[in-house]
Amino acid sequence: MNTGHQPRKPELLAPAGNLEKCRLAFLYGADAVYAGGKEYNLRSYAGNLDTEELAEACALAHLLGKKLYITVNAFARESDLKALPAFLQYLLDLRVDGIIVSDPGVLALARRWTPDMPLHLSTQANTTNSLSVQFWKNQGVGRINLARELTFDELAAIRRTTEIELELFVHGAMCISYSGRCLLSAFLNNRSANRGLCTQPCRWSYSLVEEKRPGEYFPVREDSRGSYIFNSKDLCLLDHLGKLMALGIHAFKIEGRMKGALYLASVIRTYRQAIDRYWDAPETFQVDPGWREDLARVSHRPYTEGLLFSKSSAACQGVETTVSYVQSHTLAGIVRPAPQSRREASLFPANDGRDWTTIEVRSRLVPGMELHFLGKDGSTATHLLGDFQSISGDPLTVAHPNTWIRIPLSFGTFPHQVIRTPR
């Protein structure tokens, strides 16, 4: 397809719900991360970064030659407006690489108070056509995250009309409504999705109640386990990355600021490998079966290509699934740096000649369990857990979550490396 655009290597943009996730995202290959401050973003439960952590994340990004974007994408209320200029000024002083906005009022404030700040438009703005793209461009927006409801042909048509940076979600959970414009959670739980407080009631099981028969719940059968009439599958566009890269999409975005370390490491390294491999040799590019395995081993709903390549919204619905996620593996732990300080060193026994690796445990571990150490390059080293010790050298037969242990390994590891184990 001739779009009139030179293929460009897209930026891999990953979520960072906190500082540790920010480190992990960069470690596993993200070119940029998006994170929220404690205020004004749409993931109030995602942890988010306080002002010091934002500064640290920004310094880390720039040290690595990467980028940090800050989400300021809540739909602001009158009470939010007063403090917003100071927050925007703080972000400008930090030299973050852009802010992600949805609300035209927030956008107008940003233009007035921080005119040099690059502005990205959130998917919450539901940009679905080229005239909307032009409108937002005229408002000073430099990048637009297009609505997930678009088809590929619509995406290509928009691409042909503009040079503006276009960004697209390629992986992660989807709303069943127009990208978060949804009142379910606000009605049922008094927690508004547009304030970052969604409790995901679209994933709950529903029945039908006839007005005159209160208390009688009629199943709306979709399968024997229940009816998940609003339930969306998770987006996965791995198979279509080549087509999207040829189109000239500027950034591929991964959803999931509330997701954990295993999700981040697995998904980011998969898309990193895929983007690099396609970029180096588009003619011979093929999706590696190992990438699919990685994606299958994180907690997820059945995957869908979303509406981009399907004419039927039913293809996105998880109606044949239970409300729970598919989860074959879980986070076993994270490799931690060896102790540095004298006090720390005094806690550790002398090395007895074996190569010990320190691990922060995240799941209960016992001998005989298989541990997979996820490499940055897509490789995975497996270790069958044998003997292991507390960090002060006492032999252990069980390790509990949130404790630190050390184990002997026959291969190298690196700090913050993610370890998974079959459930």
Which span (44-52, 200-208, 326-334, 408-416) binds ligand SF4, by CB under 6 A? Answer: 200-208
* Burial of 214 (C-beta count, 10 Å sphere; 0-12/13-18/19+): exposed
Which span (38-46, 61-69, 199-207, 415-423) binds ligand SF4, by CB under 6 A? Answer: 199-207
Least separation in angstroms between residue 201's CB and ligand SF4 is 5
Cα distances (Å, whole numbers) of residue 84 to 45, 79, 157, 266, 347: 20, 10, 36, 35, 46
Candidate residues 13, 30, 184, 361; the one interacting with ligand SF4 per rule CB under 6 A: 184
316 belongs to the binding site for ligand SF4 (CB under 6 A): no
88 belongs to the binding site for ligand SF4 (CB under 6 A): no
User: Closer to ligand SF4 at the Cβ: 58 or 175?
Assistant: 175
Candidate residues 130, 200, 390, 403; the one interacting with ligand SF4 per rule CB under 6 A: 200
Angle at 346 between CA 340 and CA 351, to 5 degrees: 80
User: Closer to ligand SF4 at the Cβ: 71 or 185?
Assistant: 185
Least separation in angstroms between residue 392's CB and ligand SF4 is 45
What sign has the CA pseudo-torsion 304, 310, 315, 316? Answer: positive
Which span (44-52, 86-94, 198-206, 287-295) binds ligand SF4, by CB under 6 A? Answer: 198-206
55 belongs to the binding site for ligand SF4 (CB under 6 A): no
29 belongs to the binding site for ligand SF4 (CB under 6 A): no
User: Closer to ligand SF4 at the Cβ: 179 or 413?
Assistant: 179
For 213-279, strand residue ranges (E) read: 218-219, 234-236, 251-254
198 belongs to the binding site for ligand SF4 (CB under 6 A): yes
User: Closer to ligand SF4 at the Cβ: 85 or 201?
Assistant: 201
106 belongs to the binding site for ligand SF4 (CB under 6 A): no
User: Closer to ligand SF4 at the Cβ: 194 or 421?
Assistant: 194
What is the 3-class SS of the chain, one letter each residue? CCCCCCCCCCEEEEECCCHHHHHHHHHCCCCEEEEEECCCCCCCCCCCECHHHHHHHHHHHHHCCCEEEEEECCCCCHHHHCCHHHHHHHHHHHCCCEEEECCHHHHHHHHHHCCCCCEEECHHHCCCCHHHHHHHHHCCCCEEECCCCCCHHHHHHHHHHCCCEEEEEEEECCCCCCCCCCCHHHHHHCCCHHHCCCCCHHHCCCEECCCCCCCCCEECCCECCECCCCCECEEECHHHHHHHHHHCCCEEEECCCCCCHHHHHHHHHHHHHHHHHHHHCHHHCCCCHHHHHHHHCCCECCEECCCCCCCCHHHHECCCCCCCCECCEEEEEEECCCCCCHHHHHHCCCCCCCCEEEEEECCCECCCCEEEEECCCCCEEEEECCCEEECCCCEECCECCCCEEEEECCCCCCCCCEEEEEC
Least separation in angstroms between residue 244's CB and ligand SF4 is 23
Which span (23-31, 78-86, 181-189, 307-315) binds ligand SF4, by CB under 6 A? Answer: 181-189
44 belongs to the binding site for ligand SF4 (CB under 6 A): no
Which span (44-52, 68-76, 172-180, 265-273) binds ligand SF4, by CB under 6 A? Answer: 172-180
User: Closer to ligand SF4 at the Cβ: 175 or 295?
Assistant: 175
Q: How many residues bind ligand SF4 (CB under 6 A)?
A: 12
236 belongs to the binding site for ligand SF4 (CB under 6 A): no
User: Closer to ligand SF4 at the Cβ: 285 or 325?
Assistant: 325
185 belongs to the binding site for ligand SF4 (CB under 6 A): yes
Q: Which positions from 202 to 231 touch ligand SF4 by CB under 6 A, shown as an x/- string?
A: x-----------------------------
46 belongs to the binding site for ligand SF4 (CB under 6 A): no
User: Closer to ligand SF4 at the Cβ: 188 or 398?
Assistant: 188
180 belongs to the binding site for ligand SF4 (CB under 6 A): yes
Give the footprint of ligand SF4 on this chain (CB under 6 A). 175-177, 180, 182, 184-185, 193, 198, 200-202
